[in-house]
Structure 1
Amino acid sequence: MELHLETVALFSLKLAYESEGQSPILRDDLVMGDYQRDVFELLVRRGDVEGIQVKVGECVGLALEAVGGVDKPLGRELGRLVGELASIQTVEQLDAPIIALKDYLKEIQ
């Protein structure tokens, strides 16, 4: 679970900040500081679904901006997937929406 959460953050930040001709954003970059696997591991261990949703929401919000918002085709789907994540109430329910979000972000890279 923590790896999927970190990957969602990484792909989101890549969409938001990575540009042609620059070094790629990697897991150990400073921009990933608040979104590393150990941060998500602590939130998962605590069962802090709201904390996870906030962290993922911060990153995905940046990605959503980068693709032009919910009025654009890529943004509509991204918004829908984030909406599904926002409706989750337990850590056990997070797997499917997080994996769907990760897969979609990977596709639109």
Structure 2
Amino acid sequence: MELLLETVALFCLKLAYETEDSSPILRDDPIMSDYEREVFGLLVRRGDVEGIQVKVGECLRLSLNAVGGVDTVLGRELHRLATDFSTVRSMEQLGTPLIALKDYLKDIQ
């Protein structure tokens, strides 16, 4: 779960900050410090669904802005997937919407 959360955050930050003429954002970049596997691991061990949603939500807002907001085709779909993720209430329910977010963010990179 921690790796999947970190991957979603990484794809969001890549979408928001990576440009064609810059070096790629990697997992060990300083920009990822608040979204490292260990940070998510602590939240997962605590069963802190709300904390996980806050962390991922921060990244999703950045990526939503990067694609032009909810008024664009990419933005509408990203917003829909983010909403699905934000309505989850248990750790057991996180997997499916998180995988959908990861796959979509990977596709739109």
TM-score normalised per structure 1: 0.99
Q: Deviations over 1:26-60 (max 9, x none)?
A: 00000000001010011011000000000000001
2:34 match: 34
Map of 2:100 onto structure 1: 100
For structure 2, the residue ranges without an aligned partner over 5 or more in a row are none
Tell me the SS of whatever aligns to 2:19.
Answer: coil
Counterpart CA distance in 2 for 1:72 and 1:91 is 31
Q: Percent identity?
A: 71
* 1:23 alignment counterpart: 23
SS of the counterpart of 2:22?
coil
1:94 counterpart letter in structure 2: L
Distance 1:71 1:4 in 2: 28
Deviation, 1:21, is 1.2
| Distance across 2 between alignment mates of 1:103 and 1:37 | 18
Give unpaired runs (5+ residues) of structure 1: none
In structure 2, the partner of 1:55 is 55
Structure 1 runs of 4+ with >3 Å offset: none
Deviation at 1:66, TM superposition (A): 0.1
SS of residue matched to 2:101: helix
Alignment length, in residue pairs?
109
Partner in structure 2 of residue 69 of structure 1? 69
RMSD over equivalenced CA pairs, Å: 0.4
- What's the counterpart of residue 78 of structure 1? 78
Q: 1:75 & 1:23 partners in 2: Cα distance?
A: 25
- In 2, distance between residues paired with 1:92 and 1:38? 19
Asked if residue 45 in structure 1 is aligned to residue 45 in structure 2, the reply is yes
